[in-house]
Structure 1
């Protein structure tokens, strides 16, 4: 079955720090599914990485940034924020904490957010380096102290301007 390709892809070939790593085998197996590497004349970038050692992560990020520029990927920043809960936990001093990825719009401190049936006011936000921030726009990962209880993972997040509707 032929897979229709709408845009270029980036494949992260992980675990290259292992002795048995064989990125060429991965290329061969994916080529059989019509995912052809650039160095074989296709349109897919294969980036060897090691999540364990961090090797190749900068190359992967560069490849993703290049793809987003080539494809002119954008998201509106002037609409109510929406995103996805990537991770959540209960912190002894902070309460329910959620790691979010804002997909569109801008999330600001003080906003009321909904995650599934859970809601809360954004009390504080931290960037990926643990530094406090006041707002986060599209494609920005952020840690939020807001929700009343720990939300389920990988659920949509929405912004509510009125507490009553939350």
Structure 2
């Protein structure tokens, strides 16, 4: 725990010396004094490139001043990960097949006679989104501020949300596997 605190101080001073911005996000202190764990953000030119080789398990062996007879070994795990960029999803209208159909469920004669529901199929991933919340087709297929007929608001929002969640899951899986490779506990 003392060793972890010393590492935090060392990386803080190194970041200051390099001119990087050092921001402690979470520092968990021990009941016995010292630092149990720390999460920090370091921003600056080549910060990730220079610090990525610090990843892994650091170990120090020393004889403490209080106990001169035994050698103590301390270890600390370091993970260095780049900060993920914001995730955005663009769904071009060309990659979506739109179909209108009759809705099912309550709605009376309007639902039975008119094609009020919308089905969007993302051709690249095969994701299918249905929208039949509204009574009228023009509400289910509302055009957004993007060019007319290129995007269908309600169903497109759902499709974009699903695609965004997939992208976020993919990124978090990559970071998780990168961290496991750096710190194998």
Relative to the length of structure 2, the TM-score reads 0.21
Which one has the bigger strand percentage?
1
Q: Which structure carries more relative contact order (alpha carbon 8 Å, separation 6+)?
A: 1
Over alpha carbons, which structure has the higher Rg?
2
Which one has the bigger helix percentage?
2
